[in-house]
């Protein structure tokens, strides 16, 4: 195995596949990157932590074919630090080690045997469709922060993806809050398809998605494959049932508040500085033209923020107690100058949505007095 | 106690004194900032973690005098997040709490009783002198990274400051490396004065020093006071003896190498990526025109970097084994394009110094083969 490769291209490829490398593993070979040199094609880089796997081809002048697994951390650190020039990589297969040369620098890396690296799962495609990378990325970013970290309910640690006629959506919830984002597309669909993607997939995928290209989804029984920007990204699916989220979507609001997003974010953050000394619960109260925010508990201090708002619907005062962190999270993710808060009563969820588009609903469950 | 203060000025003052606030303390009041409002003067802010203490006056319109201690973290977070406008601070002394108002935001902070806050130590001045802030800051930055973290040798956890005729210097060492920096000034001195400043003082002081003003040092028996930019910074001194560093300063070099600092830094960092898989020891070897760097141990991989150099003195090959981290640290701190490496033998210290100025010596002790 012997190839020449540009440092910048090699570095880019390594950064991409590194997102699916195990940081620590009972199987040491999973902390490595699989390299396969193929004449007239280049070098195939593969990573696989058994939850997600990534494959990416880098252009290279391959002089001798072959494959090896090299330690991902060492390889990525070394290649990143090398000068922007041509790297010559030669593998001594009998010693299972690679020799890297670049100008006046030379490295020997001890590797693993390539045939011991677990193959990426084959996705038995039952359904495939295409969407815009940018729309898909937006959807992931609007829901990924809201997955549950409670490992005893595995299905909530992922996001429910829904394919309906001309509509793609995703839902995440930890039962105390719920994020629901969607976009329209041209994919006609006879019946609804749904599956649960792990939280790590939502995160790593949204970090890799970039640009205005198309993303192809190949959906199998236990795995899904995403093809985009020459990257092949395979994710395990989470088995189990996702709660029926449509049941918790609230009906008609009583009061709808229009409020400046940044002002609300700053005010919520300031009140949270006091509220978090206790349980981080804040109360929102509306009057005809104002929104008042206070910590529910004033044992260790107090705060009071007043924001100017516009109200539609019932102008009689609304009052709800919520976790400040759940409000801050969604205000950090949205981009709109103005957001909508919809109130029904102090025991119904508070809804946060966009003022510019009808493609997102975020629910915060109320904390009942005395709870 | 009642005053009006600009958010920007209050914020700046709090950031300054916060550097001497205890993060955690058995004495909770030390996690607070002491505020004293004085008519026609402003607000005095004081912090004191019993190792260092800071005092700083902020301009304010004082309507009622008084003092209180407020929790530093809450106060700094809230003031930083408030809009850039006037803050009105009123203290209800009987409740030991402060009320902050700024536009539509209002906060209540629970405080501590001011008279329970430990006073800053009085420095019984035995000697005072003045130096340039910029020269003093440079000296601190060139040595502070080299203090020992070994608490069993307290004197090595600080920096030895030396006042000689027309010369101010500082030395830090952990016995495996030593940094010695100095600058010339106009302070005449009959006899040498020396004392040991804690590592935390070197760090926090160098972070606060800024600009081209003068720094006044008031030296007492157990404390030193630094006055600069309207900041009063008091530091405890470390008792005990500092090693006689002059004894370890090497004599005449055998070979002096001129090498590009950034190239040497990059090469050392790359070799360290392999060397740190083991003990992070690297070998430096000179030939007539090159410097070769390799990890001493190649159990987990290997590396080899070659740098072009100029040699003065003995051109026969030199060879020394050192800790890569110690070399990287000093190359990160220096600014010179070209640095000097001075070799005597493989069992004498390696010296790193500047090519542009004679105001710095850094020693790295060799690691003897088999050690």
pLDDT of residue B369: 66
Those of residues 105-144 in A touching chain B at CB distance below 8 A are 105-110
- Cβ–Cβ gap A81/B273 under 8 Å: yes
- B171 and B200 belong to one structural domain: yes
CA distance B123 to B103: 42
The predicted pLDDT at position A187 comes to 84
Same domain for B206 and B269?
no
Point out the residue among B83, B106, B267 whose CB comes nearest to the CB of A303: B106
Query: From the list B106, B266, B301, which residue is nearest A110 (CB)?
Result: B301
Per-residue pLDDT of chain B (371 residues; tens, 9 = 90+): 999 999 999 999 999 999 999 988 789 999 999 999 999 999 999 999 999 999 999 999 999 999 999 999 999 999 999 999 999 999 988 889 999 999 999 999 999 999 999 999 999 998 998 999 999 999 999 999 999 999 999 999 999 999 999 999 999 999 999 999 999 998 888 889 999 999 999 999 999 999 999 999 999 999 999 999 999 999 999 999 999 999 999 989 999 999 999 999 999 999 999 999 999 999 999 999 999 999 999 899 999 999 999 999 998 899 999 999 999 999 999 999 999 999 999 999 999 999 999 999 999 999 986 65
Residue in chain B closest to A306 (alpha carbons) equals B104
Tens digits of residue pLDDT in A332-360: 999 999 999 999 999 999 999 999 999 99
Residue B279 contacts A, CB cutoff 8 Å:
no
Domain-located, residue B370: no
CB atoms inside a 10 Å sphere around CB A356? 12
Q: Tell me how close the Cα of A250 comes to any Cα of chain B, in angstroms.
A: 32
Residues A203 and A276 in one domain: no
Check B273 against A78: CB less than 8 A apart: yes
DSSP secondary structure code for residue B240 in this structure: S
Q: List the single residue in A77, A300, A303 with the smallest CB-CB distance to B110.
A: A300
B305/A270 Cβ within 8 A? no
Number of domains in chain A: 3
B304 touches A: beta carbon within 8 Å = yes
Residues A101 and A152 reside in one and the same domain: no
Judge whether B294 lies within some domain. yes
* Closest CA–CA distance from residue A79 to any residue of chain B (Å): 9
With an 8 Å Cβ cutoff, is B293 touching chain A? no
Q: Is A301 on the interface with B (CB under 8 A)?
A: yes
Is residue A163 within 8 Å of A224, Cβ to Cβ? no
- A190 and A239 belong to one structural domain: yes
A98 to chain B: nearest residue by CA?
B301
Q: Across the interface, which of A97, A108, A301 has its CB nearest the CB of B109?
A: A301
Tell me the per-residue pLDDT of A262-318, one tens digit each, with 9 for 90 and over: 999 999 999 999 999 999 999 999 999 999 999 999 899 999 999 999 999 998 899
Q: At a CB cut-off of 8 Å and minimum separation 6, what does A193 contact?
A: A127, A162, A163, A219
For B75, phi then psi, to 5°, come to -60, -45
Range of the domain at A326: 253-364
Cβ separation A305–B104 shorter than 8 A: yes
Whether A121 is covered by a domain: the verdict is no
A232, A247, A262 — which closes off a domain?
A247
Do residues A362 and A143 make contact, with C-beta atoms less than 8 angstroms apart? no
Q: pLDDT value at position A23? A: 87
Residues in A closer than 8 angstroms to B306, CB to CB, are 104-105
Between CA A308 and CA A259 the distance in angstroms is 7
Which pLDDT score is estimated for A370? Answer: 60
Q: Answer whether A300 touches B (CB < 8 Å).
A: yes
Q: pTM to 2 decimals? A: 0.93
Q: Flag if A74 and B104 touch (Cβ within 8 Å).
A: no
Q: Are residues B232 and B255 both part of a single domain?
A: no
Residues B62 and B159 grouped into a single domain: no
Structural domain contains residue B121 = no
User: Looking at the structure, do residues A241 and A275 belong to the same domain, yes or no?
Assistant: no
- C-alpha distance from A273 to closest chain B C-alpha (Å): 7
| Mean pLDDT, range A132-151, rounded to an integer | 97
> Out of B74, B81, B274, whose CB is closest to A107?
B274
Helix, strand, coil percentages, rounded to 5, for chain B: 25, 45, 30
Instruction: Show the tokens assigned to A29.
Output: 């070979």
Please judge whether A108 and B78 are an interchain contact, meaning their C-beta atoms are less than 8 angstroms apart.
no
| Mean of pLDDT values over A220-241 | 96
Contacts of A287 in chain B (CB under 8 A): none
- Which of A91, A104, A260 is best to mutate for the B interface (most B CBs within 10 A)? A104
B91 touches chain A (CB under 8 A): no
Contact A273 B303 (CB under 8 A): no
Do the chains contact at B302 and A107, CB–CB below 8 Å?
yes
User: Could you tell me if A171 and A68 lie in one domain?
Assistant: no
Q: Do B269 and A307 touch (CB under 8 A)?
A: no
In this structure, the answer to whether residues B236 and B276 fall within a common structural domain is: no
Of A247, A276, A303, which residue constitutes the final position of a domain? A247
Q: Is residue B371 part of a domain?
A: no
Q: Are B242 and B216 in contact (CB under 8 A)?
A: no
User: Count of A–B CB contacts within 8 Å?
Assistant: 84
| Inside any domain, residue A122 | no
User: B67, B96, B116: which is the final residue of a domain?
Assistant: B116
- Whether chain B has a CB inside 8 Å of the CB on A287: the answer is no
Contact B316/A at CB under 8 A: no
Q: Are residues B211 and B297 in the same domain?
A: no
- Residue B98's closest chain A neighbor by CA? A301
Residue B112 DSSP code: B
CATH number for the domain that contains residue B259: 3.10.150.10
Which chain A residue lies closest to B298 (C-alpha atoms)?
A108
pLDDT for residue A321: 98
Q: What share of chain A in percent tops pLDDT 90? A: 92
| pLDDT of A348 | 95
Give domain status of residue B190, yes or no. Answer: yes
Closest CA–CA distance from residue A337 to any residue of chain B (Å): 18
A338 part of a folded domain: yes
B270·A306 Cβ contact <8 A: no
A305 close contact with B: CB closer than 8 A? yes
Contacts of A310 (CB under 8 A, 6+ apart): A257, A258, A259, A289
Q: Are residues A8 and A68 in the same domain?
A: yes
């Amino acid at each position: 195995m012997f190839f020449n490769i540009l440092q910048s291209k090699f570095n880019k490829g390594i950064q991409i596949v590194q997102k699916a490398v195990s940081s620590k593993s009972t199987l040491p070979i999973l902390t490595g990157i699989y390299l396969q040199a193929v004449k007239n094609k280049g070098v195939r880089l593969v990573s696989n932590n058994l939850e997600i796997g990534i494959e990416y081809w880098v252009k290279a002048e391959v002089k001798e074919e072959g494959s090896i697994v090299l330690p991902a951390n060492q390889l990525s650190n070394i290649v990143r630090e090398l000068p922007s020039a041509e790297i010559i990589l030669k593998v001594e297969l009998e010693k299972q080690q690679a020799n890297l040369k670049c100008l006046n620098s030379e490295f020997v890396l001890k590797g693993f045997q390539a045939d011991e690296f677990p193959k990426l799962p084959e996705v038995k495609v039952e359904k495939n469709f295409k969407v815009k990378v940018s729309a898909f990325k937006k959807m992931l970013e609007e829901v990924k922060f809201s997955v549950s970290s409670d490992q005893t309910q595995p299905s909530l640690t992922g996001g429910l993806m829904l394919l309906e006629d001309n509509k793609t959506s995703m839902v995440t919830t930890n039962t105390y809050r719920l994020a629901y984002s969607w976009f329209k597309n041209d994919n006609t669909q006879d019946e609804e398809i749904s599956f649960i993607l792990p939280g790590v997939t939502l995160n790593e995928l949204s970090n890799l998605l970039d640009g205005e290209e198309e993303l192809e989804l190949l959906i199998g029984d236990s795995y899904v494959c995403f093809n985009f920007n020459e990257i092949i990204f395979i994710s395990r699916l989470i088995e189990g049932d996702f709660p029926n989220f449509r049941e918790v979507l609230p009906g008609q609001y009583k009061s709808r508040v229009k409020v400046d997003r940044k002002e609300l974010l700053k005010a919520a953050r300031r009140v949270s500085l006091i509220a978090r000394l206790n349980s981080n619960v804040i109360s929102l109260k509306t009057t005809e033209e104002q929104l008042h925010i206070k910590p529910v508990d004033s044992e260790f201090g107090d705060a009071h923020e007043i924001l100017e708002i516009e109200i539609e619907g019932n102008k009689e005062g609304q009052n709800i107690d919520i976790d400040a962190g759940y409000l801050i999270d969604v205000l950090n993710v949205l981009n709109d100058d103005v957001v909508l808060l919809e109130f029904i009563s102090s025991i119904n969820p508070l809804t946060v949505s966009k003022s510019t588009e009808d493609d997102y609903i975020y629910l915060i469950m109320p904390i009942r007095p005395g709870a």
